[in-house]
């Protein structure tokens, strides 16, 4: 028997559109497809979606909302990842293997207003749209053919940009930046990090990145000498000392200074571990915001 096509439906909260899409694909395509759904965050299942799906003979009331990062950490792979909303697709992690990404960009049921009956009617129309999209997808899905077409296009595209994140000790900020870039932008960016000196991996940086679903525990603290054979497209200094001490790189390397607060310095006077970690989390999230906008923001500075 041929291996089934694995499909993941993604939206922000995994509370309505993705749940309906998963249920319809399981109903109509169970012989060829394995369907799952997830969100960037978890949310409560939409009661109108539950009611509309029940009218279709499908019970989703016992489904659980889950995050895409849980599936990523489990090492799942998918033939298709289909986003059903207008969120920034770059926020979704890059799953291993050859994954085809699609976007259906359906309206957000949380924005529906009116009486209960009016909201239910709008949700029913959304449900019908999703059902039709799923049926069309079943009729046309061809991972091998789409991957071949995508591969021929990639020959015409630029290779991944080599980006180095540089800070003083390569222990915290540059490590988090490398981790986010590998996690979120691996298809566009070949990420590295280094320091003016190597101070070792900061355990709190490892901890807060793990909370966000990114494992940087296997990254190593190193100096530029360890990367001497690599030609970078961009060097991003993430602290003032590294920027002031940054060596002159050969070729057309562009050096950008994008400073972030130093979590160990901010946490020095913290009274509790939780207070200390709050500083690391804030900087972690600021770095993520920057990485999400790469590579476009590299040419804007």
pLDDT tens, position by position, 201-230: 999 999 999 888 888 988 899 998 888 878
To the query of whether residue 127 is one of the catalytic residues in this protein, the response is no
5-151 has which CATH code?
3.40.50.2300
To the query of whether residue 11 is one of the catalytic residues in this protein, the response is no
Please state which architecture CATH assigns to domain 161-298.
3-Layer(aba) Sandwich (3.40)
Residues 237-244 have a mean pLDDT of 72
One fold for 5-151 and 161-298:
yes
Which of 16, 127, 167, 172 is an active site residue? 167
pLDDT, residue 100, reads 85
Are 80 and 99 in contact by the 8 Å Cβ rule? The answer is: yes
Q: Which two tokens stand for residue 151?
A: 């591969």
The CA distance from 138 to 26, in Å, is 11
The CA distance from 41 to 38, in Å, is 8
Domain boundaries, the chain: 5-151, 161-298
pLDDT in tens, 69-121: 888 788 788 889 998 876 545 555 555 556 788 888 888 888 888 899 999 99
Are 10 and 82 in contact by the 8 Å Cβ rule? The answer is: yes
Residues 141-156 have a mean pLDDT of 54
Q: Could you tell me what percent of the chain has a pLDDT over 70?
A: 86
Which of 11, 16, 92, 239 is an active site residue? 239
pLDDT in tens, 17-74: 999 999 999 999 999 999 999 988 898 999 999 999 999 999 999 999 998 888 878 8
To the query of whether residue 167 is one of the catalytic residues in this protein, the response is yes
């Amino acid at each position: 028997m041929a291996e089934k096509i694995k499909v993941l439906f993604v939206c922000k909260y995994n509370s309505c559109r993705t749940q309906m899409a998963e249920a319809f694909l399981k109903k109509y395509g169970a012989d060829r497809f394995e369907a799952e759904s997830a969100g960037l965050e978890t949310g409560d299942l939409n009661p109108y979606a539950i009611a509309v799906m029940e009218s279709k003979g499908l019970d989703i009331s016992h489904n659980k909302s889950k995050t895409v990062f849980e599936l990523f950490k489990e090492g799942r792979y998918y033939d298709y990842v289909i986003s059903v909303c207008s969120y920034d697709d770059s926020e979704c992690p890059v799953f291993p293997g050859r994954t085809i990404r699609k976007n259906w960009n359906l309206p957000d049921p949380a924005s529906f207003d009116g009486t209960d009956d009016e909201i239910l009617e709008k949700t029913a129309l959304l449900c019908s749209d999703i059902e039709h999209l799923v049926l069309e997808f079943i009729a046309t899905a061809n991972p091998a053919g789409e991957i071949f077409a995508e591969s021929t296009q990639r020959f015409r595209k630029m290779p991944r940009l080599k980006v180095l994140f540089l800070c003083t000790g390569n222990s915290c900020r540059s490590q988090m930046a490398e981790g986010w870039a590998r996690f979120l932008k691996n298809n566009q960016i070949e990420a590295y990090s280094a320091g003016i000196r190597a101070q070792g991996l900061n355990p709190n940086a490892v901890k807060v990145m793990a909370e966000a679903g990114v494992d940087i525990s296997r990254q190593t603290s190193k100096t530029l000498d360890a990367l001497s054979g690599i030609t970078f497209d961009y060097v991003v200094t993430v602290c003032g000392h590294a920027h002031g001490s940054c060596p002159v790189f050969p070729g057309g390397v562009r050096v950008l200074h994008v400073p972030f607060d130093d979590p160990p310095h901010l946490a020095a006077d913290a009274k509790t571990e939780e207070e200390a970690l709050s500083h690391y989390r804030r900087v972690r999230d600021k770095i993520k915001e920057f990485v999400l906008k790469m590579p476009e923001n590299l040419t804007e500075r």
